[in-house]
Amino acid sequence: MISREGAEGYVPPEVKVTAEQLTQRKMLDQRRWLCISRPQYSKSCGLSSLIGCWNYLFSTLGGGNHQPITQEQALTVLGFKPPFAEIRFGPFTGNATLMRWFEQLNNHYGVRGKTYFLYKPHGSNRTLGRSSDEALQLLKKGLQDETKTFIYHCWNHYFCPIGYEDVPLKAADAYRGDLTQDEVESWILVGESSRKHPGMHCFKWSDISTDLNCQMPQCLNIRKLNLGVQTRKTKKVGGNLHCIMVFQRNQWQGITALRESNMKKSGKETIRGKRKKGSKKAKPSAQAGGNMELNGKESARGANLGGDVDNVNARFGSESVDEYMNGINMVKLENERYMKCGDYNSDDEESEGDVEEEDEEGEE
């Protein structure tokens, strides 16, 4: 308690924080929220979350240039038939299922992306060596990156993180800049696809971490924190399906995307499948590949590409060839890292049927 004499000499702190510093502590991407497919079908939370991620990555609602897709369009592409409301998504929707569906949608719409686990402490495909603090920093950094989206698999549900807030532990630090992680408490904003719950949740990272670090039969329902850590009636011991997954748009989107990008830069109209009247088709020059010094394995790779390098050079110029080869090398490196980390295993039996049957309160 401050004495009267001390109070007379008290100088209150001034606001020295900048708006840029505050945006590092308080971040909400409205486009991520706009892309949430709400309401969902019964038990379709996994698919609905995936559609929100895809639209944010590749459609005009987010950071892409494709037409947004609906749940119904995606279901049709994936081989489902109406009435969609009668599909029991729960028994076959799992972590690996969502990863396969993401790949199928990308192949159908001609885009490129990848998916992996950001944080899965236990069970199959766990993220070995990654701490809760490291996962939090990666999540916050990823939420500021428009090439990445996230799906949080919790108790009987999937939904998408869309922002965060780092709240100072001391009231006097509300407008202080340059706070360390030890001086704040992190909250994660999560978009909800079910109409039976608020459109946005705000969870402490510590609670999310507790959920992900529980092992069967212990578990935590993040949407019913008042129940605390519970013990489920199951024969399974150890492991946990709950996780945070990353769905990412590749920087290299292929020749078609490169052509359209170059067309936009040059101000030319993009024409698919037709040439302008009176224009002549570009012929590959005999020295088309001369602008690139390929030797050894690089020459072999260029030959295996069926002359694509020469064609790109002839049609779009040497700068585009550099972008093309850089894109190929980038994809190769990403695939190598992808296989080494063991993030994705389509044969993971444990990750099938993650969304269980409806509980007594009719949760979606």
Q: What angle do CA 353, 359, 364 make, to 5 degrees?
A: 70
Whether 260 and 223 map to the same domain: the answer is: no
Compare 70 and 17 and report the one with higher pLDDT: 70
Structure tokens at 132: 């809760």
Query: Domain for residue 209, yes or no?
Result: yes
- Distance, CA of 288 to CA of 238 (rounded, Å): 59
Residue span of the structural domain in which 26 resides: 18-250
For residue 121, what are its two tokens? Answer: 């402490």
Domain shared by 150 and 136, yes or no: yes
List the one residue out of 23, 237, 59 whose CA is nearest residue 140.
23
Look at residue 346 and give its three-state secondary structure: coil
Residue 359 maps to a domain: no
pLDDT digits (tens, 9 = 90+) for 206-260: 999 999 999 999 999 999 999 999 998 888 888 999 999 999 999 888 776 666 6
State the average pLDDT over residues 165-183. 92
**pLDDT bucket at 8, cuts 50 / 70 / 90:** confident
Which of 250, 278, 298 corresponds to the end of one domain?
A: 250
261 and 224 in one domain? no
Classify residue 203: in a domain, yes or no: yes
Whether 113 is in a domain gets the answer yes
- 294 within some domain: no
| Least confident piece of the model among 119-133, 262-276, 296-310, 313-327 | 296-310
Please give the span between the terminal C-alpha atoms of the chain, in angstroms, as a whole number: 50
pLDDT at 150: 98
Q: What are the CA-CA distances from residue 266 to residues 50, 262, 271, 295, 311 (Å)?
A: 35, 6, 14, 32, 19
Q: Please compute the mean of the pLDDT values over residues 9-36 and round it to a whole number.
A: 91
Measured at the alpha carbon of residue 346, what is the angle toward residues 156 and 330, in degrees to the nearest 5? 115
Q: Decide: 230 and 220 in contact? Cβ < 8 Å.
A: yes
Q: Are 217 and 337 within one domain?
A: no
Verify that 107 and 58 share a domain, yes or no. Answer: yes
In this predicted structure, the answer to whether residue 331 has a pLDDT above a threshold of 50 is no
Q: What is the structure's pLDDT at 122? A: 94
Residues 173 and 317 in one domain: no
Averaged confidence pLDDT in the chain: 79
Same domain, 124 and 26: yes
Answer yes or no: is 3 within a domain. Answer: no
Per-residue pLDDT at 316: 47
Q: Are 284 and 155 in contact (CB under 8 A)?
A: no
229 & 315 share domain:
no
- For the ranges 58-62, 270-274, 286-290, 348-352, the one whose mean pLDDT is highest: 58-62
DSSP string, 211-252: HHH--TTEEE-TT-GGG-EEE---S--S----EEEEEEE-S-
Residues 259 and 321: their CA atoms lie apart, in Å, by: 11
Could you read off the pLDDT of 262-279 as tens digits, one per residue? Answer: 666 666 554 444 444 554
The count of structural domains within the chain is: 2
Residue of higher predicted confidence among 286 and 174: 174
- Domain co-membership, 92 together with 171: yes
Beta strand 26-28 with 218-220 is unpaired
Q: Same structural domain for residues 124 and 96?
A: yes
Same domain assignment for residues 216 and 261: no
Assigned domain for 102 exists = yes
Residues 282 and 269: their CA atoms lie apart, in Å, by: 17
pLDDT digits (tens, 9 = 90+) for 25-49: 999 999 999 999 999 999 999 999 9
- Specify whether 198 is located in the same domain as 328: no
Give me the pLDDT at residue 49, please. Answer: 97
